[in-house]
Structure 1
Amino acid sequence: MDALIAQFTAVTGSSTKDARKYLTKYKRLDLAVDAFYNSPPTPAPQASTSKLNALFDKYKDADGEDITVDGTIKLCEDLGVDPEDVVLLAVAYELKSPSMGQWQRKGWVDGWKSADTIEAMRTTLQKLREQLATDTDYFRHVYNYTFEFSRPSGQRSLGLDMAQGFWALLIPHGLQGGALSHVASPSAPDEDGDAPMDGSTGPEEGWKEEYTQWWFEFLEQSGIKGVSKDVWQMFLEFVRTIDSKFEKYDVEAAWPSTIDDFVEYAKNRLAGNA
Structure 2
Amino acid sequence: MPDRKMEDNIAQFCGVTGASVKEAKKYLEKYKRVDIAVDAYYGDPSAIASATPQRTPAAPAASTSKLNALFDKYKDPDGTEITVDGTIALCADLGVEPEDVVLLAVAYELKSPRVGEWGRTGWVEGWKALGCDSLPAMKTTLGRLRTKLGQDADYFHKVYTRTFDFAKSEGQRSIGIDTATAFWSLLLPHAMTGGALTRIPPGDDNNAMQVDAPPFGQEQVQWWFEFLAEKGGKGVSKDTWNMFYDFIRSIDARFETYDMEAAWPSTIDDFVEYARERVKAS
Pairing 1:228–2:228 present: no
Aligned length: 230
What percentage of aligned pairs have identical amino acids? 59
Counterpart position of 1:57: 72
Alignment counterpart, residue 275 of structure 2, candidates 251, 260, 266 = 266
Matching residue's letter, 1:222: K
Please list every run of 5 or more consecutive structure 2 residues that lacks an aligned counterpart in the other structure: 1-41, 46-55
Q: Is this contact kept in 1: 2:232–2:267, CA < 8 A?
A: no
**How many Å separate the matches in 1 of 2:104 and 2:233?**
24
**How many Å separate the matches in 1 of 2:271 and 2:213?**
20
Matching residue's letter, 2:80: E
The DSSP-based 3-state class of the residue aligned with 2:281 is coil
Matches within 5 A, 1:123-272: 123-188=140-205, 198=208, 204-272=213-281
**How many Å separate the matches in 2 of 1:205 and 1:123?**
36
Q: Is this contact kept in 1: 2:173–2:237, CA < 8 A?
A: yes
**How many Å separate the matches in 1 of 2:195 and 2:230?**
30
Cα 1:64–1:169 shift into 2, 3 Å: same
Q: CA deviation at 1:242?
A: 0.5
Greater per-residue helix proportion: 2
Cα 1:83–1:49 shift into 2, 3 Å: same
Alignment TM-score, normalising by the size of structure 2 = 0.76
Q: CA deviation at 1:199?
A: 5.6
**How many Å separate the matches in 2 of 1:45 and 1:102?**
28
Q: Deviations over 1:76-98 (max 9, x none)?
A: 00000000001000000000001
Q: Is this contact kept in 2: 1:184–1:204, CA < 8 A?
A: no
Q: CA RMSD in A?
A: 2.5
Q: Is this contact kept in 2: 1:185–1:241, CA < 8 A?
A: yes
Q: Is this contact kept in 2: 1:184–1:243, CA < 8 A?
A: no
**How many Å separate the matches in 1 of 2:103 and 2:145?**
9
**How many Å separate the matches in 2 of 1:234 and 1:86?**
21
Q: Is this contact kept in 1: 2:213–2:254, CA < 8 A?
A: no
**How many Å separate the matches in 1 of 2:213 and 2:98?**
37
Q: CA deviation at 1:204?
A: 4.7
Cα 1:102–1:172 shift into 2, 3 Å: same
Alignment TM-score, normalising by the size of structure 1 = 0.78
